Amino acid sequence: MAEQGDTSTALDGEATERDEQREELLQTLTEALGDAIVGSHIWPGHELWVRVERDAWREAAEAAKARLGCSFFDFLSAIDWMPSPWGRYEDSAVDVGIARPDPTGPFATGVAGGETRFQMLCRVANVRRHHAVVLKADLPDDDLRVPSLVPVYGGADWHERECWEMFGITFDGHPGLRHLYLPGEFEGHPLRKDFPLLARLVKPWPGIVDVEPMPEEAESRAGNGDATDTAEEGER
């Protein structure tokens, strides 16, 4: 768990004053969850992130609701931290001459740390006291499942269904995992980094293809071109 000191480090790396309010929130969750908290990060004046063991995922949500008064469910999602093996796609200008990332190599997992490719994210808030907590949990690649938060926050229903179809994560105890967007016979999970977006393999990303310049740009280029051409003619 993150150490507590006289100063804390903001996301931009600058030392700032302590955020006693969020330190108290973290302490309250620590008293409730104990060693199930494996990482944390405080962005003073903004946000608290707490990473918990997967088995304590629902327990952490219950503690946030009961002990921190976070009765407002904001969102639930997942993230695949693996660098895309496709780069930023085929002939993308930013990838020309640049080696694509190794999807098997080490990769960053954001604030509060992480040890796995896939992580769960959930944000809940206390709208009266104006504080919130982002919960995180690591999911092992070979067992993408986590307890459902629907018994704690009914609003998690559709969010978990989306994660199930887009990432392939199973939510134990969910009342009915079924597709939101994709047809029932669809194979694969589009939000995984290793899912190939075939439409982009055969059609360049917007902005990569040559586009006709705006009129003022064309005039500017024409003017510069005339001056250059004149200079070149003089050199000849």
Residue 104 has pLDDT above 70, yes or no: no
Residue 229 has pLDDT above 50, yes or no: no
Domain ranges for the chain, please list them. 7-196
What gap in Å lies between CA 72 and CA 124, rounded to an integer? 6
* pLDDT at position 5: 33
* pLDDT at position 211: 52
Report which of residues 202 and 7 the model is more confident about. Answer: 202
Report which of residues 143 and 106 the model is more confident about. Answer: 143
Looking at the chain, the whole-number percentage of residues with pLDDT higher than 90 is: 59
Polymer length of the chain: 236
Average pLDDT over the chain, rounded to whole? 81
Query: Per residue, what are the HEC states of the chain?
Result: CCCCCCEEECCCCCEEECCHHHHHHHHHHHHHHHHHEEEEEEECCCEEEEEECHHHHHHHHHHHHHHCCCCEEEEEEEEECCCCCCCCCCCCHHHCCCCCCCCCCCCCCCCCCCCCCEEEEEEEEECCCCEEEEEEEEECCCCCEEECCCCCCCCHHHHHHHHHHHHCCEEECCCCCCCCCCCCCCCCCCCCCCCCCHHHHHCCCCCCCCCCCCHHHHHHHHHHHHHHHHHHHHHC
* pLDDT at position 165: 96
Residue 98 has pLDDT above 60, yes or no: no
Residue 145 has pLDDT above 60, yes or no: yes
What gap in Å lies between CA 140 and CA 54, rounded to an integer? 9
- Would you say domain 7-196 falls under CATH 3.30.460.80? yes
Report which of residues 208 and 165 the model is more confident about. Answer: 165
State the average pLDDT over residues 41-56.
96
* pLDDT at position 16: 59
State the average pLDDT over residues 66-78.
98
Distances (CA, A) of 228 to 81, 85, 200, 220, 234: 48, 43, 38, 12, 10
Q: Which two tokens stand for residue 133?
A: 């907590």
User: Picking from 67-76, 114-123, 187-196, which range would have the lowest pLDDT averaged per residue?
Assistant: 187-196
Residue 64 has pLDDT above 90, yes or no: yes
